Structure 1
Amino acid sequence: MAAKVSSTSPKFTRDLPESRRQQLIEATARCLARDGLAGTSVRHVAAEAGVSPGLVRHHFEGMQDLVAETYRATGKQIAALLDEALAAAGPSAEARLHAFIETSFKPPLLDADLLAVWLAFWSLTRTDPQIHAIHAKVYAGYRRLLEEMIAALAREHGIAIETRQSALALTALLDGLWLEHCLDPKTFSAAEAAAIAHRWVDGLKKGS
């Protein structure tokens, strides 16, 4: 899962190197969302950003490096959005779990462009060692957060929960619902997807 891809092309002046790198990453995300992995190249990213291909190569070794950095940046954006929602939910583990679910099924995380970008990353996970390593790190952090909240939920309600397996199950449930809804929103609504996940957490709380 990732943040909404901006449709505004960046304007380059005398930006700092990190600012330029970020603008190129955002341009890459827009290209991936619109044209897919096969239609995204250094030339296309340069055109999207309004710069020369040489400037792209100055900041990145090539498309492999640029896509990897875009994956890393997208993962950080998602983590920041989820952290913000959890902070607003307060200290209750149950409230935090439900906030995590609600945020997962609302914009900017619930977005067809984000799906297109995420699918590009997923498609490289088995063949690109760098992407595989980033994927492992992103999802390890995602599952670790869920494990911590599930363990806290168990303490709050005085029940025994297998936290690792429960976190794996909830991750699969959220990813599956998110993917299916983005592929075909007519199948079920975002509210229905969230309700399914909320009921799963309620069942976990009851020990079922």
Structure 2
Amino acid sequence: MSDGAAPGPRFRRLGREVRAAMLVEAGMQVLAEGGIRAFTIDNICKVSGASRGLVTHHFGGKDGLLAKVYEAVYRPLLDAISPPDAAPPHLPELLDHLFSPANYSRDTLNVWLAIWSEIATGGTLRDEHRTLYARYRAVVSEAVARHAAANGRKVNADAMAMTLIALVDGLWLELCLDPSGLTPEGAKAACLDLLEPVLGPIGDQT
């Protein structure tokens, strides 16, 4: 008896990593289009063309796939602000990365909102969130600390990093909900208004 989402021959011939990546992409698409309630194995299989068994095989089930989707959503941001084998960004570069268009597309926002709602309601992603957020905050904190030191300022870099991330999250949300009311340049200016009184002027540090 068919489950309505049996994989075709091409999907079966694909390598393990490619099949897993396709399932993650399908999971992201489902979240972007329907939110966390639409994140079901049936919907993911329908989008990917995979069988239900492949979700279990690659991820142990829906929760494991959701954790990988969260990691995949976070990865472009982390790679942009902390690329492997590269020097950590200066604070101006960091702000440019945070407000690049890739970070606030409507689909990306929908995925973030779906995942945040799952975390907020005690879902299965809290450990994953703590790990990824800690990496994000560490990069931002380092950039803040380096900039403050260069300007002879004393600051609680970790607290400032948490405040900046919270502001960025709110600005991302507004950029997606009403792009006509806020521009990336305006969002970055709002961050500078927060940071410069504490850290000193923020110009091109490269």
Q: Verify same fold: TM over 0.5.
A: yes
For residue 146 of structure 2, what is the amino acid of its counterpart?
A: A
Whole-angstrom distance in 2 between the partners of 1:124 and 1:32: 11
Percent sequence identity over aligned pairs? 33
CA shift, 1:170, in A, is 0.8
How much is the aligned-residue C-alpha RMSD, in angstroms? 2.3
For residue 105 of structure 1, what is the amino acid of its counterpart?
A: F
Whole-angstrom distance in 2 between the partners of 1:52 and 1:20: 11
Segments of structure 1 that go 5 or more residues without pairing to the other structure are 1-10
> Does structure 2 conserve the Cα–Cα contact (< 8 Å) formed by 1:82 and 1:100?
yes
Any idea what SS the aligned residue of 1:161 has? Answer: coil
Aligned to 2:204: none
Aligned to 2:6: none
Which of 1 and 2 has greater Rg?
2
> Does structure 2 conserve the Cα–Cα contact (< 8 Å) formed by 1:34 and 1:113?
yes
Aligned to 1:104: 98
CA shift, 1:14, in A, is 2.1
Whole-angstrom distance in 2 between the partners of 1:194 and 1:152: 19
- Does residue 1:165 correspond to 2:159, yes or no? yes
Instruction: Report the TM-score when normalising by structure 2.
Output: 0.83
Whole-angstrom distance in 1 between the partners of 2:120 and 2:50: 32
Aligned to 1:154: 148
- Does residue 1:182 correspond to 2:181, yes or no? no
> Does structure 1 conserve the Cα–Cα contact (< 8 Å) formed by 2:31 and 2:38?
yes
Q: Please give the per-residue CA displacement for 1:11-31, whole angstroms capped at 9, x wherever unaligned.
A: 735222222111101110011
CA shift, 1:58, in A, is 2.4
> Does structure 2 conserve the Cα–Cα contact (< 8 Å) formed by 1:98 and 1:198?
no
- Does residue 1:196 correspond to 2:196, yes or no? no
Rate the CA distance shift 1:170–1:176 in 2: closer, same or farther, 3 A. same
Aligned length: 192
CA shift, 1:129, in A, is 5.5
Whole-angstrom distance in 1 between the partners of 2:24 and 2:122: 18
Q: Please give the per-residue CA displacement for 1:106-126, whole angstroms capped at 9, x wherever unaligned.
A: 221121101111111111113
